[in-house]
Amino acid sequence: MAERVFARKVEKVGFTDVWIGEKQPFGVEQAAIFPLFTEEVVELMRTLIPADRRDSVAISVIAKARKPR
Protein backbone atom coordinates (compact mmCIF):
# COMPACT_ATOMS: atom_id res chain seq x y z
CA MET A 1 0.00 0.00 0.00
CA ALA A 2 1.34 3.44 -0.87
CA GLU A 3 2.27 5.62 2.10
CA ARG A 4 -0.17 8.34 1.11
CA VAL A 5 -3.02 5.81 0.96
CA PHE A 6 -2.05 4.40 4.36
CA ALA A 7 -1.87 7.91 5.86
CA ARG A 8 -5.31 8.78 4.45
CA LYS A 9 -6.83 5.60 5.91
CA VAL A 10 -5.25 6.26 9.31
CA GLU A 11 -6.66 9.81 9.30
CA LYS A 12 -10.06 8.49 8.24
CA VAL A 13 -10.34 6.43 11.45
CA GLY A 14 -9.53 9.42 13.64
CA PHE A 15 -5.77 9.66 13.97
CA THR A 16 -4.07 13.04 13.55
CA ASP A 17 -0.53 14.27 12.97
CA VAL A 18 0.23 11.32 10.72
CA TRP A 19 3.93 11.14 9.98
CA ILE A 20 5.42 8.80 7.41
CA GLY A 21 9.12 8.58 8.00
CA GLU A 22 12.12 6.45 7.49
CA LYS A 23 12.12 3.87 4.70
CA GLN A 24 14.53 0.94 4.71
CA PRO A 25 15.03 -2.13 2.57
CA PHE A 26 13.54 -5.28 4.08
CA GLY A 27 15.14 -8.60 3.19
CA VAL A 28 14.36 -12.27 3.42
CA GLU A 29 16.40 -12.72 6.61
CA GLN A 30 14.44 -9.92 8.34
CA ALA A 31 11.22 -11.59 7.24
CA ALA A 32 12.40 -14.81 8.88
CA ILE A 33 12.30 -13.06 12.28
CA PHE A 34 8.58 -12.30 12.09
CA PRO A 35 5.98 -14.99 12.90
CA LEU A 36 3.93 -13.83 9.90
CA PHE A 37 6.33 -15.78 7.67
CA THR A 38 6.51 -19.53 8.29
CA GLU A 39 9.80 -21.37 7.89
CA GLU A 40 8.38 -22.94 4.70
CA VAL A 41 7.66 -19.51 3.20
CA VAL A 42 11.10 -18.21 4.15
CA GLU A 43 12.74 -21.27 2.57
CA LEU A 44 10.65 -20.75 -0.55
CA MET A 45 11.81 -17.10 -0.74
CA ARG A 46 15.42 -18.22 -0.29
CA THR A 47 14.97 -20.71 -3.12
CA LEU A 48 13.07 -18.53 -5.59
CA ILE A 49 14.59 -15.08 -5.05
CA PRO A 50 18.06 -14.63 -6.55
CA ALA A 51 20.79 -14.19 -3.92
CA ASP A 52 21.66 -10.67 -5.10
CA ARG A 53 18.05 -9.50 -4.49
CA ARG A 54 17.35 -11.14 -1.11
CA ASP A 55 18.48 -8.10 0.91
CA SER A 56 15.71 -5.93 -0.50
CA VAL A 57 12.47 -7.76 -1.26
CA ALA A 58 10.31 -5.05 0.30
CA ILE A 59 10.50 -1.62 1.92
CA SER A 60 9.72 -1.11 5.59
CA VAL A 61 8.24 2.24 6.56
CA ILE A 62 7.97 3.78 10.01
CA ALA A 63 4.70 5.65 10.56
CA LYS A 64 3.54 7.61 13.60
CA ALA A 65 0.20 9.21 14.44
CA ARG A 66 -1.77 10.50 17.40
CA LYS A 67 -5.21 9.39 18.53
CA PRO A 68 -7.00 12.37 20.09
CA ARG A 69 -8.78 11.71 23.37
C-beta of residue 54 within 8 angstroms of C-beta of residue 28: yes
Q: Provide mean pLDDT across the span 43-56.
A: 96
Domain boundaries, the chain: 3-66
Which pLDDT does position 43 carry in this prediction? 96
Which pLDDT does position 69 carry in this prediction? 83
Which pLDDT does position 1 carry in this prediction? 72
Confidence band of 8 (pLDDT split at 50, 70, 90):
very high
Which pLDDT does position 56 carry in this prediction? 94
- The closest alpha carbon to 55, from 32, 39, 34, 37, belongs to 32
